[in-house]
Amino acid sequence: MNSPILKVAKFEVVRQLKKPSFWASILLMPLLIGFIYFISFTFGSEEVNTNPTIDENTTLAITDDAGILAANTPYVINGNKEYGIEHVKSGEFDLYFYIPSDFVESKKAEFYHVSEGLDLFNFDANILKGILAQNAAARVDAVDVISLTGNFEIVDNKLTINGEDENALGKAVIPISILVVFFMFITLFGNRFLMATVEEKENRVSEMILTAVTAKHLIIGKIIAMMTLGAVQVVTFVVPVLALVFLNRDNQFISMILDSIVIDPVAITMNIILFIAAVLFFAGTCTFVGSLVSTARDASSFIGPAIIAIVFPLYFMQLFFASEPNAIVYFLTYFPLSAPIALMMRSGFGTLGGVEFTIGLIEVSIMAAIMIRLAIKTFQKNAINFETVKLRLRLHKK
Amino acid sequence: MSNIVEVKNFKMKFGDKTVIRDLSFDVKKGEIFGLLGANGSGKTTTIRALLGLYEPTAGELLVDGKKYDAEDTDVVIGYLPEERGLYRKEKVIDTMVYFGELKGLKNPLEWSLKYLKRVDLLDKADEKLEKLSGGQQQKVQLGITIMNNPKLLILDEPTKGFDPMNRRLLMEIIDELYQKGTAVILITHYMDEVEKLCDRALLLKDGKAKAYGTIKDIKKEFNNKSLDQIFIDIYGGKDE
């Protein structure tokens, strides 16, 4: 390992990994989530909603081939499964349940509805449980075993019209998860980035170290180190969460989420590429701010507004759901600081085309390069200036 | 003897303030050169410009015939700056090994332990730097400065804060390096150190050379007064 960049990176990574505070900060969040999960599953119960509310504008139909429902149960129709599905497709039924003849043995009912885009978790499926609990008088044995306990599966069948899969949110799960990882990165690592750059000045080491290594190597080494530590942090956070999901994959809520996920390779690839560019941009911004100031305290007053600008698109998330982006969404997409998150959201929700992706990626990459370059230049010039640079605005009277 | 440092017509301005005015001098290979002057006379600024930490307003500052660039140089430089500091939260040995690696030492751990033993700090190797006294930290810094066997050693007030024993230890270390052929630029306010160690010296006042040459010649120029008295005369205004 002869490169000074790697030597700097190794020093920075090893010293952080040795600190108990580093592990405490990254384990705190998964432990907290685990604790909340444990509490909710220990003290919570999966009670059947025995009083389902159905919107008066919603048309509901049930075909009961198992003969489990009482004769006067509302919504039960005489038509068979095909009839029900056709009426869902034609828009006459919003929700359609099919209870097959082997329902008691298979413990499976079927649910049909037209996918309406952002419907990741369709809680309408539980309506059948409530109806069964109230109206399953016809077969008391089945009521005891299945209906009242709610211990049966409802297979959710989202129907598509003209072959178009409109499950946009299902497609968005993985790309948006990448955005969540970026969000975690900036919230958990912003301060660490600043500290890493300010430390040499705060400890008056910069003059000595700059005779052993160039500012360029020092800054790039630190950025690599922080990105490595970020990866450690994300893995430490994500692995327990994935393990919990895997261990509880039979849980109705979790299986519903898992069933809803649609793999969209294009959006996932776009967001991975945008994530890398965004992390570099953020790292460059933090190191640039760090190189301008002389103490971590000074740095925090500069970086706060920058982080707010970066996460700003999240306040307008609702606007990003629309299939046609409006002026605000376009502004957030191309405003340098808000671009990374806006681009990732649009890619996740399927409203970012190839051309816009390319323009956005080029913009974020150029900004990252500019910020890193500025950080190096400023650190070089400002390394032995132990006072925060004062930004002066001079007004010239003509 | 050829020059390791050449400064020609060096001028330095910070905003409207001129710190160095047309300064020229050289440092020969293998000599100990005293860079003298009161606080604010421009000594540290000259060294920072020589090492590329400041961009000169005018003039040339050359190390072994070239403008110094840490990325592209054959000259090994050891620099103990006036601004003292280390990674306070890190262990002594980890810090020394880090600098050793950056400076390309083959076995930085072995060298560091040997040095710590010599300066009586071996028992502090695993201590955090912030736990060490100012003098002990300074010895660690000196070790970092000389660890790569420099051809040019620049020491900015190296004995500041040292007790007499440690001052003697430092003088020994400087002498050892000098014997090996290292050129030393010594910035100090202690004229006895200059008289004892330096071959030649430059006395700066307000960014201008007020005396320059061998110690013998400088004394001769000022009627064989002691360096202390010459310093007082220059800064007391008798030279003007």
User: Is A392 a domain residue?
Assistant: no
User: Is A387 a domain residue?
Assistant: no
Residue reference for tokens 């384990």: A27
Number of domains into which chain B is organized: 2
Question: For the domain that residue B217 is a member of, what is the CATH number?
Answer: 3.40.50.300
Question: B6 and B57 share a domain?
Answer: yes
Question: A96 and A244 share a domain?
Answer: no
Contact B70 A386 (CB under 8 A): no
Q: Distance, in angstroms, between B170 CA and closest chain A CA?
A: 18
User: Is A113 a domain residue?
Assistant: yes
Q: Which of A70, A73, A83 shows the shortest CA–CA distance to A96?
A: A83
**Per-residue model confidence as pLDDT tens digits over A261-317:** 878 888 899 999 999 999 999 988 888 888 888 777 777 777 788 888 888 888 888
Give the C-alpha separation, A269 to A178, whole Å.
10
Domain limit, last residue, from B148, B178, B202 = B148
User: Is A254 a domain residue?
Assistant: yes
User: Is A355 a domain residue?
Assistant: yes
Question: A277 and A361 share a domain?
Answer: yes
pLDDT at B118: 92
Report chain A residues whose CB lies below 8 A from the CB of B48.
Answer: 207, 384
Question: A187 and A332 share a domain?
Answer: yes
The complex scores an ipTM of 0.82
Contact B71 A383 (CB under 8 A): no
Least confident of A186-195, B5-14, B46-55, B73-82: A186-195
pLDDT at A319: 84
CB B206 within 8 A of CB B38: no
Question: B120 and B103 share a domain?
Answer: yes
Number of domains into which chain A is organized: 2
Question: A138 and A218 share a domain?
Answer: no
**Per-residue model confidence as pLDDT tens digits over B114-148:** 999 999 999 999 999 999 988 888 899 999 999 98
Residue B200 has pLDDT above 90, yes or no: yes
User: Is A162 a domain residue?
Assistant: no
Residue B3 has pLDDT above 70, yes or no: yes
Least confident of A16-20, A183-187, A389-393, B198-202: A389-393
Which residue out of A206, A207, A209 would a mutagenesis test of the B interface target, given it has the greatest number of B Cβ atoms within 10 Å? A207
Residue A167 has pLDDT above 70, yes or no: no
Residue A203 has pLDDT above 90, yes or no: no
User: Is A260 a domain residue?
Assistant: yes
Q: Distance, in angstroms, between B132 CA and closest chain A CA?
A: 14
Inter-chain contacts counted by CB atoms under 8 A, chains A and B: 60
Question: For the domain that residue A138 is a member of, what is the CATH number?
Answer: 3.40.190
User: Is A157 a domain residue?
Assistant: no
CB-based contact, B144 to chain A, within 8 Å: yes
Residue B182 has pLDDT above 90, yes or no: yes
**Per-residue model confidence as pLDDT tens digits over A205-248:** 888 888 888 888 998 999 899 889 888 888 887 887 788 888 88
pLDDT at B108: 94
Give the C-alpha separation, A387 to B97, whole Å.
29
A251 vs B138, higher pLDDT: B138
pLDDT at A387: 52
Residue A161 has pLDDT above 70, yes or no: no
A144 vs B214, higher pLDDT: B214
Residue B184 has pLDDT above 80, yes or no: yes
Question: B68 and B181 share a domain?
Answer: yes
Q: Distance, in angstroms, between B236 CA and closest chain A CA?
A: 31
Give the C-alpha separation, A380 to B195, whole Å.
36
Q: Distance, in angstroms, between B89 CA and closest chain A CA?
A: 10
Candidates A204, A211, A212; nearest CB to B83:
A204
Domain that holds residue B97: 83-148
Residue A374 has pLDDT above 80, yes or no: yes
Domain that holds residue A127: 60-149
CB-based contact, A22 to chain B, within 8 Å: no
Residue A392 confidence class, pLDDT cut points 50, 70, 90: very low
Give the C-alpha separation, A290 to A297, whole Å.
10
pLDDT at A94: 82
Question: B45 and B158 share a domain?
Answer: yes
Question: B43 and B94 share a domain?
Answer: no
Contact B103 A212 (CB under 8 A): yes
Q: Distance, in angstroms, between B233 CA and closest chain A CA?
A: 32
**Per-residue model confidence as pLDDT tens digits over A3-46:** 889 999 999 999 888 888 888 877 777 677 677 767 766 665 44
Q: In whole numbers, what is the pLDDT of chain A averaged over residues?
A: 79
Q: Count other C-beta atoms under 10 Å from residue A233's C-beta.
A: 23
pLDDT at B147: 92
Specify the DSSP class assigned to residue B132.
S
Residue B171 has pLDDT above 60, yes or no: yes
Question: A143 and A173 share a domain?
Answer: no
Specify the DSSP class assigned to residue A389.
P
pLDDT at A396: 41
Question: B18 and B5 share a domain?
Answer: yes
Contact B87 A208 (CB under 8 A): no
Question: B58 and B172 share a domain?
Answer: yes
- For a pLDDT cut of 90, what percent of chain B falls above it? 44
Contact B83 A212 (CB under 8 A): no
Domain limit, last residue, from B123, B148, B173 = B148
Least confident of A70-84, A142-156, A362-376, B162-176: A142-156
Residues ≥6 apart with Cβ < 8 Å to A49:
A126, A127, A129, A130
Question: B196 and B87 share a domain?
Answer: no
Q: In whole numbers, what is the pLDDT of chain B averaged over residues?
A: 89
Domain limit, last residue, from B108, B130, B148 = B148
Which residue out of B99, B109, B145 would a mutagenesis test of the A interface target, given it has the greatest number of A Cβ atoms within 10 Å? B99
**B205 bridge partner residues:** B208
Q: Distance, in angstroms, between A349 CA and closest chain B CA?
A: 46
CB-based contact, A32 to chain B, within 8 Å: no
- Mean pLDDT along residues B148-162: 87
Question: B70 and B132 share a domain?
Answer: no
Chain B nearest-CA residue for A18: B90
CB-based contact, B105 to chain A, within 8 Å: no
Candidates B79, B85, B103; nearest CB to A203:
B85
Question: A283 and A339 share a domain?
Answer: yes
Report chain B residues whose CB lies below 8 A from the CB of A203.
Answer: 85-88
Candidates A11, A203, A210; nearest CB to B98:
A11
Question: B108 and B35 share a domain?
Answer: no
**Per-residue model confidence as pLDDT tens digits over A59-90:** 888 898 888 787 777 888 888 888 988 888 88
Assign 3-state DSSP to chain A and report helix, strand, coil percentages, each to 5. Answer: 65, 5, 30
Residue B100 has pLDDT above 90, yes or no: yes
Chain B nearest-CA residue for A204: B85
